[in-house]
Amino acid sequence: MIVDLSMPLGEETPAYPGDPEVRVRPWAFIDRDGYYMNVIKMGEHSGTHVDAPAHFVPGGKTIDEMPLERFFGKAFLVDVRAGDGPVELDEIPDSGYFGRIVLFLTGGRELSPEVALFLVAEGVKAVGTDGPSIGDENVHTILLSSNVPVFENLVNLEPLLGREFTFIAFPLKIEGGSGSPVRAVAILEE
């Protein structure tokens, strides 16, 4: 079974404060032009997206330089909705991270720098959150300076609770991009 973890991109897609709003405008119509097409205007970090190291790390890899292997793999979900404030180490499992993608169901909470340092030390492949941001500038820098991609604005995570799954979320190959919208999915084990 495939679970869609991506929010729709359209005029109602929320933008992070200060980021460009998503605009979708008709460009061509079948009855007039013989085909249908829209023009899309948005920031690289619109909707469900991934951050590349260049987003916070001077000289960091841009999205087109990231190896595709970083955008899919075995994954698991950590539910930290019950707590308050930044997610702390005592709220997450203490093992099982190496080479895996870790998604967080946060209910709007962000990771603490200690959790980010722990995840890097444990060798995670990537991290993701249902929130608009994984954490503050420090959290982003810790993860991205270790080439750990950060997925944000994931949706529909509840069906993944307690399940084994493969996470896939390929970015657009934006030259020099600091990130990219993605179509994130989870493929559940049968």
Extract the tokens encoding 120: 């890097």
Does residue 165 register a pLDDT over 80? yes
Burial (CB < 10 A; 0-12, 13-18, 19+), residue 109, is: buried
Contact criterion met (CB below 8 Å) for 140 and 150:
yes
pLDDT at 21: 95
| Residue 38 located in a structural domain | no
For residues 63-69, give the mean pLDDT: 97
Mean local confidence (pLDDT), 66-92: 96
Place of tokens 């729709």: 8
Give the tens place of pLDDT for each residue, 15-36: 999 999 999 999 999 999 999 9
User: Does 56 fall in a domain?
Assistant: yes
Residue range 97-125, pLDDT digits in tens: 999 999 999 999 999 999 999 999 999 99
Amino acid identity of 129?
A: T
> Whats the size of the chain, residue-wise?
190
Q: Report residue 94: phi and psi, to 5°.
A: -95, 5
Q: What is the count of structural domains for the chain?
A: 1
Q: What is the pLDDT of residues 43-59, one digit of tens each?
A: 999 999 999 999 999 99
Decide if 27 is inside a domain. no
Contact (CB, 8 A) for 35 and 124: no
- Could you tell me which of 41, 1, 4, 6 has the C-alpha nearest to residue 22? 41
Average pLDDT, the chain: 96
Q: DSSP letters of 19-53?
A: SPPPEEEEEE-HHHHSS-EEEEE--TT-SSEEE-G
The answer as to whether 39 is a domain residue is no
Residue 117 lies in a domain: yes
- Mean pLDDT value of segment 151-159: 98
Confidence (pLDDT) at 189 = 80
- The predicted model gives 85-103 an average pLDDT of 96
What is the mean pLDDT of the segment spanning 164-173?
A: 97
Look up the CATH number of the domain holding residue 56.
Answer: 3.50.30.50
Is residue 190 scored above 80 in pLDDT? no
Six-digit token pair at 126? 């990537």
Domain membership flag for residue 36: no
Distance CA 62, CA 98 (A): 24
> Is 22 within a domain?
no
Confidence check: pLDDT of 8 > 80: yes
Domain containing residue 138 = 2-12+44-188
The answer to whether position 131 is within a domain reads yes
Cβ contact 50:165 at 8 Å: no
pLDDT: is 52 or 190 the higher one?
52
